[in-house]
Structure 1
Amino acid sequence: MAQPLTIRRYQAGDGPRVQAVHEAAMRAAGAYVEGVPDDDLETIPETYLDMAGTFLVGTVDGRIVATGALRPVSEATIAAKYSATSPDSTVELTRLRVAPDHQRCGYGGRLCDELERRARTRGATAIVLDTLSIQSAAQGLYETQGFELVHREPIEQSAEEVDLLVYRKELVESG
């Protein structure tokens, strides 16, 4: 049985453990690229918290085992092309990671639910995200959470060709 997950906002001092969870999760998925810096993880307060975004961590017994973030859609990401007619009310979900020894416990879904709740509270009408075709567990999670694949394009990663997948979820209730 999975231990209870506590979700909280990123705090000063969380950076090294957030980076460790990110690297371990990406390595386990076969998606880690050695030597490519993750600048946003080096500057979480400036990149997310100071820019109308949020960065959450999930803890078990006080130890960070999961991460996830929302930020306004940036023109620098491919997801921006799929922000629909209202880019101002679309947010990007990113950095959803679960440490390999805590995967399959429902923690990714819990973080995703909390991020979606926060997006709705902020008035977002859609969430976009991207992932790689080799990250099959992530694809399964996003599809279970109601995200729809809206774009696929080949990219080169570490001299290997993979597909970048863009997912989207409408947050507007149909009535």
Structure 2
Amino acid sequence: MEPTLTIRRYQPGDGPRVQAVHEAAMRRAGAYVEGVPDDDLETIPETYLDTTGTFLVGTVDERIVATGALRPVSETTVAAKYSATPPDSTVELTRLRVAPEHQRRGYGRRLTAALERRARTRGATHVVLDTLSIQSAAQGPYETQGFELVHREPIEQFDDGVDLLVYRKELVESG
């Protein structure tokens, strides 16, 4: 029987496991950059919870195996440039990670759906996200969940032609 994923809000003390899941998932994707700090993961309460954002974790047997967050769109992110809607009606989906040994079980889709529900209750009409072209395992699920690729640009941190991909999804049905 498949273990049950429980989704809950980030809690004090989750930080080390969140960082471990992030690093393992990024290493598996070939997208981990050694020595580049992830400041937002060091300050999750301040970055996500003390603002209008949220940070969720997925647990199996009380062990964190997946993460995902929403935050207000910031003018400093590439995704924000391609939101095509007012900043107050768009949120950014970020830090969606699943530990490698738990991938391909639908956990990322469940976290995305939970984050979208939260975004809707907060009045958001669109979600934007970015991912790297080498994170090919993420692209298919995003697209099957209704995200549309709206921008592609080269990333200079990588030597072998890696692109930043920006996706957007409308949360409300057009009428």
TM-score by structure 2 length? 0.97
Distance in 1 (alpha carbons) for counterparts of 2:143 and 2:126: 15
Give the letter aligned to residue 118 of structure 2. Answer: R
Tell me which residue corresponds to 1:162. 162
Distance in 1 (alpha carbons) for counterparts of 2:2 and 2:140: 19
Residue 118 of structure 2 aligns to a residue whose secondary structure is helix
Distance in 2 (alpha carbons) for counterparts of 1:2 and 1:106: 11
* Contact 1:92/1:127 (<8 A) preserved: yes
C-alpha deviation, 1:158, in angstroms: 4.0
How many residues are matched? 175
Tell me which residue corresponds to 2:149. 149
Give the letter aligned to residue 20 of structure 1. Answer: A
Tell me which residue corresponds to 1:82. 82
* Contact 1:133/1:162 (<8 A) preserved: yes
Distance in 2 (alpha carbons) for counterparts of 1:129 and 1:104: 20
Distance in 2 (alpha carbons) for counterparts of 1:140 and 1:120: 23
Tell me which residue corresponds to 1:13. 13
* Contact 1:72/1:92 (<8 A) preserved: yes
Percent identity over the alignment is: 86
Distance in 2 (alpha carbons) for counterparts of 1:165 and 1:122: 26
Tell me which residue corresponds to 1:130. 130
Tell me which residue corresponds to 1:3. 3
Distance in 2 (alpha carbons) for counterparts of 1:83 and 1:71: 13
C-alpha deviation, 1:81, in angstroms: 0.4
Give the letter aligned to residue 66 of structure 2. Answer: A
* Contact 1:33/1:158 (<8 A) preserved: no
Distance in 1 (alpha carbons) for counterparts of 2:17 and 2:159: 29
Residue 157 of structure 1 aligns to a residue whose secondary structure is coil
| Unmatched runs of 5 consecutive residues or more in structure 2 | none
Give the letter aligned to residue 169 of structure 2. Answer: K
Deviations 1:54-89 (A, max 9, x none): 000000000000000000001111011012132210
C-alpha deviation, 1:127, in angstroms: 0.1
* Contact 1:58/1:111 (<8 A) preserved: yes
Residue 4 of structure 1 aligns to a residue whose secondary structure is coil
| Unmatched runs of 5 consecutive residues or more in structure 1 | none
Tell me which residue corresponds to 1:114. 114
Distance in 2 (alpha carbons) for counterparts of 1:62 and 1:14: 11
Distance in 2 (alpha carbons) for counterparts of 1:114 and 1:102: 18
RMSD: 0.9
Give the letter aligned to residue 136 of structure 1. Answer: S
TM-score by structure 1 length? 0.97
